[in-house]
Amino acid sequence: MAAEATEPGGWAVIGGGIAGVTCAEQLALQFPDEDIYLLTAAPLIKAVTNLKQVSRTLEEFDVEEQASSTLERQYPNIRVINSAVKELQADQQRVVTENGNQYLYRKLCLCAGAKPKLIENGNPYVLGIRDTDSAQTFQRHLAKARRVVVVGNGGIALELVYEIQGCQVVWAVKDKSIGNTFFDAGAAEFLIPQLRSDKPDTLLACKRTKYTVEPPAGQGESWMGSALGPDWHEGMNLKAAEGVSRCVHIEGECEVLRILSLGEFKKLNILAQTVPRGNDAESSATSHTEEWPVYVELTNGRTYGCDFIISATGVVPNVEPFLTGNNFDVAEDGGLKVDDHMRTSVPNVYAAGDICTAGWTPSPLWQQMRLWTQARQMGWYAAKCMAADHLGEKIEMDFCFELFAHVTKFFNYKVILLGKYNAQGLGLDHELLLRCTKGKEYVKVVMQNGRMVGAVLIGETDLEETFENLMLNQMDLSAYGENLLDPDVDIEDYFD
Ligand code: FAD
């Protein structure tokens, strides 16, 4: 067994996703004369390009899948090791990789991301989407599909139901309204008409380079790639075989009770639903003999046959290889708890991105969400903390953790979420102000004690900077009452 060890005192980062690459890049800049080891399971790494600071806390960037040699060329002191880590011996400050090598570290940052939480593991008809590989599997299945069932109500489910064309989509959501992770019922109502019209043709050139990659030898099923990003479906043909118009049927307030094979379904002698064409509200039970490879029984008593099921029901942090023999504090959501220096409970081990759970007392206007932006911010800040701790310097919590800020696109609308945009954790102690122009914009602000604490901005509202400032300054706005959102009032002038 070849054993390679970094010099005792080396820097090591595990994971070639956004968090890990950003962390390694920042360490490489801070310690140009030292080697930075980036150990990653996937043959490609993810790099942030075209970073644009939209406002003080809002940022936009592209994500590029790159060969690790590109990163090594750009940062000559980064050494990318292409092998999954199978063991962490924290008492020895050592990691062991699948290919049998060992690496000693002075400080280590775990950035191994998360994997989809599937509604049923091991069922070939249940797909999760995480990386390029799983997205391609999905695309292959879709090409032959007549009907798919999408389960989940987060960002991935939202994007999928909008992007899939040419087959029936049954969307099972456990909440009262769609997109509950991001919106309230009002915003959902604003967006739903987009599902009822044919999607504009957006098969544009892809923003980032896509590679078709095979898992490294011997890592077939267990291969862990990086999570896809905001534009994962761009350039992918998400058209099914049927070529029919968009047809999305929403089943609200229900979960999947069980998944049945065709044989099991027949034995039970129950009826399956049809999906109404034209997005009518109601489906109907039928004894129609159309057969499906798999059936989904929902808790509302309805059963749908389909070609496959997309499980978009959240993620589970990839912590397993690191837990054995180490005393990590693991949070309820399965992430490694980190303090305000991104330190885990194990000495000299930090964590950033989807694998970690913020264990510090957050600013009143920030919450953790497993998103690109936070993976980048945490990776960058973890590197700064590792360096500061090593050099015995003080470091302040980065400003990006003051206010939750996320810019994205749903159903072809620009969407900006700020602060406690969904009144998270505020109980009844808040009020909402709304302004909505059908098909154009939806503006919601969350107010508490006359102060703005959150906002959802859909469409080209141009309000993000002003609202961000109002939230950061916590200015008392009670005097303005509902006029705050009056379209005839130039709110920016008000507060300049
Ligand atoms: P990852 O990107 O998952 O990277 C983890 C890395 O660790 C990988 O390189 C993997 O190979 C490596 N690894 C894992 N285990 C090991 C091991 N044992 N040893 C060595 N290496 C290991 N976020 C948004 O903000 N906006 C969006 O629109 C959006 N859309 C998304 C769409 C999809 C389909 C998915 C799946 C996610 C989406 N996200 C989105 C979430 C976003 O992709 C993640 O929050 C982000 O990628 C997390 O980055 P990370 O670096 O922590 O983890």
Q: Residue 129: which region, alpha, beta or left (left: phi > 0; alpha: psi -120 to 50)?
A: beta
How far CA 176 is from CA of 172, 183, 189, 441, in Å, comes to 11, 11, 11, 22
User: Which 8-state DSSP code applies to residue 50?
Assistant: E
Is 404's C-beta closer than 6 angstroms to any atom of ligand 1? Answer: no
What pLDDT score does 226 carry? 65
Is residue 233 scored above 70 in pLDDT?
Answer: no
More confident residue, 204 or 239: 239
What pLDDT score does 184 carry? 76
What pLDDT score does 495 carry? 58
Is residue 201 scored above 50 in pLDDT?
Answer: no
217 — pLDDT class (breaks 50, 70, 90): very low
Mind giving me the DSSP string for 353-372? GGGEEE-S---TB------H
Residue whose pair of structure tokens reads 């609200």 in the numeric block: 252
Is 84's C-beta closer than 6 angstroms to any atom of ligand 1? Answer: yes
More confident residue, 217 or 275: 275
The lowest-confidence range among 131-135, 138-142, 290-294, 381-385 is 131-135
pLDDT in tens, 472-493: 999 899 888 888 888 776 666 6
Gap between the Cα atoms of 21 and 125, Å rounded: 33
Share above pLDDT 90 across residues of the chain, in percent, rounded to a whole number: 56
Atom of ligand 1 nearest to the CA of 370: 45
Atom of ligand 1 nearest to the CA of 224: 11
Is residue 452 scored above 90 in pLDDT?
Answer: yes
Atom of ligand 1 nearest to the CA of 318: 15
User: How high is the mean pLDDT of the chain?
Assistant: 85
Is 387's C-beta closer than 6 angstroms to any atom of ligand 1? Answer: no
User: Is residue 78 within 8 Å of residue 36, measured between CB atoms?
Assistant: yes
pLDDT in tens, 318-352: 999 999 999 999 999 999 999 999 999 999 999 99
Which of 129, 137, 354, 408 best tests ligand 1's pocket when mutated (most atoms within 8 Å of CB)?
Answer: 354
User: Is residue 420 within 8 Å of residue 473, measured between CB atoms?
Assistant: no
Give the mean model confidence (pLDDT) for residues 203-219: 34
Mention every residue, 6+ apart, whose C-beta is less than 8 A from residue 191: 178, 179, 183, 410, 411, 413, 458
Name residue 42's amino acid.
Answer: A
pLDDT in tens, 137-193: 888 888 889 999 999 988 888 888 888 888 899 999 998 777 777 777 788 888 877
Which of 71, 111, 231, 410 best tests ligand 1's pocket when mutated (most atoms within 8 Å of CB)?
Answer: 111
Is 80's C-beta closer than 6 angstroms to any atom of ligand 1? Answer: no
B/e letters for 389-417, b = 16+ CB within 10 Å, e = fewer, are: bbeeeeeeeeebbbbbbbbbebbebebbb
**Residue 145 Cα to ligand 1 middle (Å):** 27
Pull the structure tokens for residue 271: 């009826």
Q: Residue 348: which region, alpha, beta or left (left: phi > 0; alpha: psi -120 to 50)?
A: left
User: Which 8-state DSSP code applies to residue 121?
Assistant: T
Of 231, 232, 224, give the one whose Cα is nearest residue 355: 224
Give the mean model confidence (pLDDT) for residues 457-464: 93
**Residue 114 Cα to ligand 1 middle (Å):** 6
401 — pLDDT class (breaks 50, 70, 90): very high
Pull the structure tokens for residue 11: 């820097």
Atom of ligand 1 nearest to the CA of 225: 11
Torsions phi, psi of 119, nearest 5?
-70, -25
Is 128's C-beta closer than 6 angstroms to any atom of ligand 1? Answer: no
Gap between the Cα atoms of 446 and 365, Å rounded: 11
* Ligand 1 atom 9 nearest Cα: 16
**Residue 490 Cα to ligand 1 middle (Å):** 40
Atom of ligand 1 nearest to the CA of 230: 28
pLDDT in tens, 346-369: 999 999 999 999 999 999 999 999
User: From start to end of 244-339, where are the E strands?
Assistant: 247-251, 256-261, 272-274, 284-286, 294-298, 303-306, 308-311, 315-317, 336-338
Is 224's C-beta closer than 6 angstroms to any atom of ligand 1? Answer: yes
301 — pLDDT class (breaks 50, 70, 90): very high
Give the mean model confidence (pLDDT) for residues 67-71: 95
For residue 7, give the H/E element and its range: none
pLDDT in tens, 29-42: 999 999 999 999 98
User: From start to end of 57-134, where are the E strands?
Assistant: 59-67, 78-82, 85-89, 94-97, 102-104, 107-110, 114-116, 126-127
What pLDDT score does 428 carry? 83
User: Is residue 252 within 8 Å of residue 298, measured between CB atoms?
Assistant: no
Which of 226, 411, 414 best tests ligand 1's pocket when mutated (most atoms within 8 Å of CB)?
Answer: 226
* Ligand 1 atom 47 nearest Cα: 227
What pLDDT score does 218 carry? 45
Domains of the chain: 11-113+318-400 (3.50.50.60), 116-311 (3.50.50.60), 420-494 (3.30.390)
**Residue 113 Cα to ligand 1 middle (Å):** 5
Is residue 223 scored above 50 in pLDDT?
Answer: no
Atom of ligand 1 nearest to the CA of 322: 18
Whole-structure pTM value: 0.86
**Residue 334 Cα to ligand 1 middle (Å):** 15
Give the mean model confidence (pLDDT) for residues 124-148: 87
